[in-house]
Amino acid sequence: MSTLVEDPLTTATLEADSLVLTQSRKKSMNLLFGFWIAVFHVGAIAALFFFSWSALAVSAVLWVLAQNVGIAMSYHRLLTHRGYVTPKWVEYAMAVCATLALQGGPIYWVAVHRLHHQLTDREGDPHSPRDGKWWSHVGWILYGTLKNRNTPLLNRYAPDLAKDRFYLWLSKWHWVPATLVGIGLYFAGGWSWLLWGLFMRVTLGLHVTWLVNSATHIWGSRRFETRDDSRNNWWVALLSGGEGWHNNHHAHPVSACHGMAWYEVDFNYWGIRLLGALGLAKRIKVLGPQAGPARVIHG
């Protein structure tokens, strides 16, 4: 990851970043985050009383776009780790899909995740279970100090995105696509479509992503002896489409493929390979359990 930041990350630099970016338990809650998280959980509960098969189908389609294409394939494997490359219009479109998950703008999400990899399970890691299981799941958002804004320190961990006008705009207005989709859902299918396609989907998606932060650093197996607590967790992998093979990922962050055995199903990687087959993804980096350089697929 050091190649993705502007300045060499010396030990002194990491320690300085750790002191500034350490998540501390504030006495007061981040009220804006807390309010919207509560609203979406209430909406998810309300969705149970407005079930319809069409609403479930709409929610499933939006789940794939937001969680798989957006968060996993775009924010994580493309923008954060540059495990493959796409034409800019594809990259931008996938990033817009990621905002539908309401997990923040691209600069915030990428910077926090790169910081996590730099300081995994050490002081300064935004969401390490060593600071508490609840903290690593949601406490770091409710009571932490990192915010969804383009501060110089966050830009420092995502300088490639901070130089791009589109990502600056999308980071500022990241809530707009989901809002427009929500309005469209209401007028197209009423409360049922809105509650399932937005509130239920976003709420479940948040918890699935948070489980990658928490559960995959607590429970599971370890193929690689990494210097952190990362685990391969099969049930988180199923929920997230492949993000649960987390020990594999921490051992080889730039690999676009997280599943490294036939039984480690990785739907998100299959999506990347589909883009490659369509000529929309190149230089797909793949590493396996054996040591050695990455294989590069599709040029």
**Which sign does the torsion angle of CA 213, 219, 223, 227 carry?**
positive
Please choose, from the candidates 5, 56, 171, the residue with its C-alpha nearest in 3D space to the C-alpha of residue 14: 5
Give CA–CA dist 62/177, Å, rounded.
Answer: 12
Segment 158-183, tens digit of pLDDT? 999 999 999 999 999 999 999 999 99
Percent of the chain with pLDDT over 70: 89
Segment 143-156, tens digit of pLDDT? 887 766 657 778 88
- The 3-state DSSP class for residue 179 equals helix
Segment 195-254, tens digit of pLDDT? 999 999 999 999 999 999 999 999 999 999 999 999 999 999 999 999 999 999 999 999
DSSP assignments along 239-295, one per residue: HHTSTTBHHHHHHSTT-S----STTS--HHHHHHHHHHHTTS-B-EEE--SS-SPPE
pLDDT confidence of residue 151: 72
- Tell whether the model's pLDDT for residue 50 goes beyond 80: yes
Q: Domain boundaries in the chain?
A: 2-220
- Tell whether the model's pLDDT for residue 192 goes beyond 70: yes
Phi, psi of 117 (to 5 degrees): -70, -35
- Tell whether the model's pLDDT for residue 12 goes beyond 90: no
pLDDT confidence of residue 7: 45
pLDDT confidence of residue 29: 84
> What length does the chain have?
299
How confident is the prediction for the chain on average, in pLDDT?
A: 91
Q: What is the mean pLDDT of residues 67-86?
A: 98
> Which is higher by pLDDT, 292 or 157?
157
pLDDT confidence of residue 16: 56
Between 47-51, 140-144, 194-198, the lowest mean confidence (pLDDT) is in 140-144
pLDDT band at 49 (very low <50, low <70, confident <90, very high): very high
> Which is higher by pLDDT, 29 or 87?
87
pLDDT confidence of residue 283: 97
- Tell whether the model's pLDDT for residue 9 goes beyond 60: no
